[in-house]
Structure formats: structure tokens, C-alpha cells
Structure 1
């Protein structure tokens, strides 16, 4: 199992994780990942950290497809991959209607079809075999009834096969990941339920398909206190990271077997009862998707992850040397 560090969103000038990334590289972590939602972008921090490291891989988890046209993302990826010596791992995702329509001002319709077109166009850019065209309805190239003409990138990519991951939660999107991508980035993974939930969707994956699961890791002798930190995150995602009519995070919690709890939590959160929503998170859910408690407990619970289809753990939480070293020893030792 490979080990990565997920830093999440960059929020402020003080949130410079350069020393943490350098430490992770020295400790043998395989990759570091950054995210975007509706604030900072995912690529700029990676460029910053990539300039200050030499070996650790650099991943976006995830870059939102509605934020950029396919060729813009392909150009950014190609440039960053060059500048960092071929270390980029490009994770993209469709996000959800609340962000896509409320922040980017675009329609969320047909996310699977849009993602497929998006990936196809990026790979055409990187392959550089001919001027890029696309007959799809979502990203037509060149634009019909215009003076535009097909173009071929003037920059030669360092790699025409930049590793591509999809952030996906629904079974159809996971199946798309298995079909067209190099890996899948699940936000919430309950290791003992992955095969039951996604076995059929993953059946088309190739042998080297990487399931890189994000997991909160909190080393703390007080298990309840550690679980509370996980519950705070879940409260926000289940309750507020999505519209009432469509919240993919709440949906996935439901498919894990907590549908009633997810509906109750969302209702409480949206009615302003955030504290009650927090207390409504089941311990079993918070514990199942995370690795928390004393090191010995985490070591025991890692066995469920090793028995699952997960091939990379992208840990969220550890930043100091002691925690990063302990996690390294537990996962890779």
C-alpha cells in the first residue's frame, strides 16, 4: 500500500506546508495532494511545493472540471508536469450542482458525459498527434459557426500519459473511473463496505488501477475526542456541502447503510441546528471511515484497509514530524 499526504485546501498565507511536504518526502511518502472548492485553487500550492521538493509526487484532489475548460486544465497539467520533472498526478472531479451552478455559473447537467469528453480532450492535447477537435455536445472544438480552427499544442508534453484520477462517489462515476482513468479518489471510504458498494463498478478496472482513498488519521489516546474531530468534518459535508435537493456526500453515507442518519443530520444542519447535527453522527460511521485513537488501535484497524481494494492511503490530519513518522511506520512498516 502506498502512502500519501492530503493537505486539503490552502486557506491563507500562513498555511504554507512546505516544511511538512519536505518532511513527508524525507520520510518516504509517495505523494502529496491539494484540493479546491470555492476559494483557493489546487494547482498553485502544488507548484509552490514542487519547486521546493525533488521526488514526492504532486496530486490534485480534486481539480473541478467546471473551473476550467479541458484544454486549460491540460495546459496547466502539462506545464506543472514539466516544471516538476514528471511528478504530477492529475485528479479531477465534477463537484456538485451547488458549487458548479452557484460559484462557476454553469449547468451541472450530465456530469458523466462531460467528464468523459473532458478526459478525451486532455489526452488529445497531451498526445499531440494532430490538431485537437471534439464533436461532443459539451466542449465542441473548434466552436461551430466560428472562425476558430483546430490547433495543436505548441508545447511538447514531458509525458503524454500524465496519470489521471477521478474523484467519484456514485457507482456510475466510479465505473467511469475504472473505464477511463488511472485511479479513483474516494472522499469517504468505509473499507469493509467498498466491495459491496462498488465491486461491480470496479470490475472493469485494469490491473494497475490505483484506489487512493482519503482518510482522516488522528493519533490520540482519547478515542472519543478523536472521533469528535471526524464528526465535525462529517457534519459539514453531510449537512452543508451540497444542496438539500442533491447532496452527493449525504447520498454516499446513505449507501454505506446510514441513510436515515444522513437525512436527519442534513435536516438538522439546514435548519440551523448544527450542534444537534454533530451529535447525530453515529460513532460507527465516524470510526469506519477514519483511523483514530492510540497507535496500537490504528494499527489494528489498518488491517481492514489492507484487506480492502484500496491501494493508496492519502492521510489527512498529520502535520508534525512525530505524527507523520508514526503513520509512516504503521502503514509502510
Structure 2
């Protein structure tokens, strides 16, 4: 149970062009006490540039990547980026990392996807060493060896020129599978699930989180739709779920589809995927169960949202990363409800 549930503003990544009004949302979140601001990346806008822009227009809110994709940057480059932004923002950075999936990693970044857990462990270790700046950074791992074995033979261990403002920046891992979540509990400061069901999530992830240390953070994205039309609000959430279950991954390798089975929706997910891959996206969205959509979101008038917030307070989640909000007034409404 979370005694003091925090709020974060989740902006995600851009669609075809920058969404209007996001700076106003950020300023309102900063003004009304939101704990953190999160940006993402897929194969379009990057996660860091918007944070630097928003950080220049705010003074307090934490700046979090949710998530930086491992394959987009070497761990040394990520460490440099974090150290730079942390200085510019006065120590407000949270580094969220994720491995993405084979379609993006191999298709867009041109990097191998196998052994994502081992790669993540190595990646985080190098970042920790670089930011600690206790000695020149070396790594003997097979994925990111430093110095690089081969080439000219002139590579040498180096220590970051910049002295990081903080020698240990919080690192959160995005993860869905039980082993990935357990890795986050072992090596990171927090976990970012993509879909966490307020009622079914605690049981589904209990084993993976059993060794999480005290103070371990769970920052959970939650779509918020303040509306009197609950059915219409849930329909928006169902469209998102249908896209991830049916289209974000191959038919045989889709981590979001697998997660639905662990949450108890295996048969429903199979039907959603079948319809989506057959080209009937409207039917796929309609096939997403209402209680699944309702469990990962906060939808309805303020009174209903206030009631359903108790489910999240009763869960291990420590921060709600609210997304889908377009009206700055709704950010303050949610802050007032908490």
C-alpha cells in the first residue's frame, strides 16, 4: 500500500508533429505540485530534447525519461547526456531505460536484440561507473566492452571530464516480463510498467517484486480522462490497448500480448490480436474488456476518479504517471483529488 501517492505528468512521444499545448501542461504540473515529468521515444521524437526544453521553463518538477531506449545510445553517451541535463536542471533528472523490442531494435537502430537482460545489466553498470567518476571506466562484458577490443588497439579507459552534479542519478527500468521486473528490483531504483492493472497487478507481479528493497519506486503510466461519459472515455483506452496487443510486436513475439495473459486476459487478448491483424481495428478495440481498460486508467467524472484512486493507493504503485490530459485544469483537478 502506498501512503503518499505522487503524481507525474506523462507526455510520451510525439505523433506526426509536436502536440500543441504541452508547454502549458508542463507549467501547470510544475505549479500545482506534480512530482515528475516524463517523455518517451520510439522511432520518432527523442526523449531527451523535450526534457531540456521543458526544464528551462520550470524550476521544481523532476525531469524523467520514460523511456530512453538502450539501443539508441551507447551507455557512455547516455551517462554524458544524464550528467549534462542534471547540471542544467539543478539535479532534477530521473533516468528511465528500456530495451524496447526486436522490431524496433533491429529494424530501426540496426542493433542485435538477443539477451536483453544481460545487456541491461551491463548498460546500467557502465552508467553507474561513469557517473560515480571514481576511476576510468572499463567493462569486460560482451555487449559494451570498454575499451573496445580490436580496432586500432589505441583505446584507453577514460574518466568523464565533467564532474557530475550527482554521482548517483535515480535509474528506473521499463519492464513487462517477470524476469525483467525482477532485474529492475535488483539493480535499479524504480520500475516503470507499461500496463499495470490496479486490481490484478499486485498479484501478477508479486513474485518479481518480492526482493525489491525499501524505497523502491513504481512509476506507473495511467491514462486519465475526466469526462461524464464513462463509456466514451473507456473507448479511447480500448483503442490504445488494441494497438499494443495487436500491433506493437510480431504475432509470435509481443510482450504486451504476453502481459495480458499474466493479468488473466489471455483469451480476450488472442481475440483482440486476431481481429487487429485481420485489419478490423474497430472490432479489435471493441473486443478489449471494459474491466481491463478501466483497471489501467482513471476515467469518468471527478467523483468516480476519486473513488477509483483508492485502488491505486492500495497497490504498491508510488507514482501515477498521468497521460492523455489535454486541459491544464484537469491536472489541477487530479492534484486536488489526491
Q: What TM-score does the superposition give when structure 2 sets the normalisation length?
A: 0.96
1:290 equivalent in structure 2: 297
Q: Distance in 2 between the 1:116 and 1:186 partners?
A: 18
Summarize the Cα distance change of 1:265–1:13 in structure 2 as closer, same or farther, 3 Å threshold: closer
Q: How far 1:232 moved relative to its partner?
A: 1.0
2:11 equivalent in structure 1: 7
Number of equivalent positions: 331
Name the SS of the counterpart of 1:138 in structure 2. coil
2:278 equivalent in structure 1: 271
Q: How far 1:275 moved relative to its partner?
A: 1.5
Q: Deviations over 1:209-268 (max 9, x none)?
A: 110111001111111000001011111111111111211111111111001111121121
Name the SS of the counterpart of 1:201 in structure 2. coil
Summarize the Cα distance change of 1:16–1:74 in structure 2 as closer, same or farther, 3 Å threshold: farther
Q: Which sections of structure 1, spanning at least 5 residues, go unmatched?
A: none
Name the SS of the counterpart of 1:59 in structure 2. strand
2:191 and 2:218 in contact (8 A); partners too: yes
Q: Distance in 2 between the 1:22 and 1:77 partners?
A: 22
Alignment of 1:77-92 (within 5 A): 77-92=82-97
Alignment of 1:145-160 (within 5 A): 145=150, 146-160=153-167
Q: Deviations over 1:169-188 (max 9, x none)?
A: 11111101111111000110
Q: Distance in 1 between the 2:142 and 2:204 partners?
A: 31
- Larger deviation: 137-146 or 221-230? 137-146
Name the SS of the counterpart of 2:59 in structure 1. coil
1:17 to 22, 35, 42: 22
2:40 and 2:47 in contact (8 A); partners too: yes
1:60 equivalent in structure 2: 65
1:57 and 1:89 in contact (8 A); partners too: yes
Alignment of 1:155-304 (within 5 A): 155-304=162-311
Q: Distance in 2 between the 1:77 and 1:27 partners?
A: 26
2:24 and 2:328 in contact (8 A); partners too: no
